[in-house]
Structures are given as structure tokens and as C-alpha cells.
Structure 1
Amino acid sequence: MLHIRVSTPAAAALVAVALLFTTGGQVSEVAYGRTVTQAETAGAATTTGSPYLATHLYFGTGRHNGEPPITDDQFMKFVADVITPRFPSGLTIQQGRGQWRDKTGSINKEISYELTVLYPAGEARRHNPDIEYIRRLYCSMYGLESVGRADVRAQADF
């Protein structure tokens, strides 16, 4: 049985990093000033819900060749016309500030949007063509190099 006693935040951070390396990232909790056992953390690994995928798409708004940036209205029209019909059950959009290095090596800083769609893991093959269509169309419409994509396994309950 694993027992850990941690007395300061700095020590906790060092123990957490060491444990992540030695346990293959299986540490669930580090407590300050008390002992934590594997039995205590076993309940934390229990989740509710069903297996889902969370697909995150990262849309930039900066354009090349002196073209003006994609406006909020243009992006929201793209969401309404292209994305919503493919994911009518729901989606989340967050606006942020992003940066990335383009194919010429320039670092571009721009307003960006992160779109998240959740769907049952068993529907991944069905949704993949829609996701790829969205990515290609956005790039084609606005002369962009790419739309970033990240797929993350999740447990979800609605």
C-alpha cells in the first residue's frame, strides 16, 4: 500500500512529479499534511456517465495577404450555417487569444475560437466526416492553413 506524507506545497509538488514518473501517471491525489493511501484515492477514479469523445476545434481569425480578420459575425454565421446542422444536440464555443507558427515560420497572434462538441464514443466514425468537412470548409472559405483538432476521451452525463 502506498502512503505519502506531505508537509509543504513545494514538497507536495516534488512528490507529485516523482509519483507521476514512477507510477506512469496513476496518482489521483496528493494531500497536504496528511497521509493518503491508494484505497482512499480508489473512489476518486470512479466516474459517472457514459463514454464520450470531446472534439475540440481551434479556429483562427487572422488572414493572409492583407485580408481583414474574420469577424465575430462571420464566425457565428459559419457556426449557424455549417456546424449547428451537423451537431444539433449542442456545442460550446469559447473565444480566446491564440498564436501559432504558420508555414512561412511567422508567429501569428490572433483572436481565436475553441469549439467543443461531445458525442458518444461509439459514434466517432459517424461524426468524423462532419468534423473534417467543417475544418476543410473553414480553411477554404477564408484562405487559412488549418483548423486545429484535439479529440479527448471523456465520461459524460446529461
Structure 2
Amino acid sequence: MLSRKTRSRIVASSAALAIVTGTPQAYAALDRQPAPGHQAESATVARGKPYINTRLYFGTGRPDGKPPVSNRQFLAFVDKHVTPKFPSGLTIQRGRGQWRDQNGHIGREGSYELSVLYPASEARDHDADLEKIRSAYKRLYDQESVLRTDDHERADF
């Protein structure tokens, strides 16, 4: 009969041997290329057509003690300045934002994220529309900036 100490050494040695011999084989399997003539399965399928998703971030805080831009004011702004340029649809999300102003002060305020999706082939045409929207908001509500991001995506409706 084996002693407890000997049994523990055998178990430990077996585990170490399994790790040493098993691990390289597992990694080697991950590095294998498909055989000629066989396609590797894709994790995702590209669907839809090329679109641009532009997001505009609107702060609601205003300088000089003026009240923040209200929900009613923001939705009226969207109705007047955004919907006519993007009648097919848009998404609005409320948020809380933080940013450093031109004087180096950290400001925290309510915000809105507006997202519009449009065909990539129309990007040049919509660029001017989006810049007019940003300029109008800055002018009407005394904003230093309106952040814009553009992402290339594929969409299928």
C-alpha cells in the first residue's frame, strides 16, 4: 500500500504531466489553418448595407446662471432642426455628461445623445446638415461645443 505522501506525489506529478503535455497540444490546435479547399467558419455574418451612424452629444448646462435646456426645448429643437433633415428616423437618449471647458473647469450636466443612421453613399450630403444642426444648437443655447462621432456600420432593415 502506498503512503499518503507517495500518493500525493503521484497525483501532483500526474497533474503536472497532464498540464505540460496537454497545454501545448491545445494551443497548437488553435493555431491550425484550415485544410486547402475548406473555408473556416466565420463567427459573424456581414449583413445589410454600409451605413454611417452619427452621434451628436448635446449638453444642457448654460452659462451666466441661465436655466438648463429643458426636455421640451430640446425636443422642439429636434423637431425644427433635425427631423426635417433626417425624416427616416433617429434615436434620442438622455444622459449625464462631464467635460472640461475652455477655461479648464470640469462641468457636469444633463445631456442628450442623438443618433442618426444613413447610407454611407449619402455621407457627403449629410455632413453639411449635421454641421448646421451643431451650429444651431451652439448658437441657440450658448454652448461651447456639440460633440460628434461617426461610425461605419452595416445595417439591415
| TM value normalised by structure 1 | 0.74
Equivalences for residues 92-111 of structure 1 within 5 A: 92-111=91-110
* CA displacement, residues 33-80 of structure 1 (integer Å, 9 cap, x when unaligned): xx7678798512431000000000000000111111000000000001
Q: Return the alpha-carbon distance in structure 1 between the equivalents of residues 105 and 62 of structure 2.
A: 13
Distance 1:152-1:42 versus aligned 2 partners, 3 A rule? farther
Amino acid at match of 1:79: V
Higher normalized contact order (CA 8 Å, seq sep 6+, divided by chain length)? 2
Equivalences for residues 9-88 of structure 1 within 5 A: 42-88=41-87
Q: Are 1:129 and 2:133 an aligned pair?
A: no
Q: Return the alpha-carbon distance in structure 2 between the equivalents of residues 41 and 85 of structure 1.
A: 46
Distance 1:49-1:68 versus aligned 2 partners, 3 A rule? same
**Counterpart residue number, 2:119:** 120
Secondary structure class of the residue paired with 1:68: coil
* CA displacement, residues 2-57 of structure 1 (integer Å, 9 cap, x when unaligned): xxxxxxxxxxxxxxxxxxxxxxxxxxxxxxxxx76787985124310000000000
Q: Are 1:145 and 2:144 an aligned pair?
A: yes
Q: Which runs of 4+ in 1 moved over 2 A?
A: 35-42
Amino acid at match of 2:102: K
Q: Return the alpha-carbon distance in structure 1 between the equivalents of residues 138 and 40 of structure 2.
A: 45
Q: Which has the larger radius of gyration?
A: 2
Amino acid at match of 2:60: T
Amino acid at match of 1:153: H
**Counterpart residue number, 1:21:** none
More deviation in 92-101 or 43-52?
Answer: 43-52
Amino acid at match of 2:114: L
Q: Return the alpha-carbon distance in structure 2 between the equivalents of residues 95 and 151 of structure 1.
A: 19
Residue correspondences, number: 124
Secondary structure class of the residue paired with 1:100: strand
Amino acid at match of 2:142: G
